Amino acid sequence: MPNEARPDGYPGAASRPAPVPAEPPPDLMTEAEVRVHLRVSRSTFYRMRRAGEFPKPVLLAGSIQRSRREDIITCLAGPDTAL
């Protein structure tokens, strides 16, 4: 059966299961996107982050940091709903 062909002409792949679609990644924002959204300067953004006014960013490969859009929106909604 190794010579079976799929309908699209590729041999040997007829018995492979169909790939399962991955869940979409969370909606992540770069530092620049967060600053534009908040309309604050870079120094203000870092001051607010150091003061704990924002949720901690998600660390990706290496030192790449992103913020979850949902976390930023929740944080800005008010102290009762902040993380």
Model confidence over 22-72: pLDDT tens digits? 665 669 999 999 999 889 999 999 999 899 888 889 898 888 899 999 988
Residue 43: the pLDDT is: 96
**Closest Cα to residue 28, out of 60, 53, 54?**
60
For residue 78 the two structure tokens come to: 């008010």
For residue 52 the two structure tokens come to 């704990």
Provide the edge-to-edge strand list for the sheet that holds 65-68.
28-29, 65-68, 58-59
Q: Are 58 and 28 in contact (CB under 8 A)?
A: yes
Give pLDDT, residue 10. Answer: 61
Q: Which residue has the tokens 């790449």?
A: 64
In the chain, where the domains are located: 28-77
List, in sequence order, every residue forming a beta bridge with 5; answer none if it has no partner: 11
Can you give the pTM of this predicted structure? 0.58
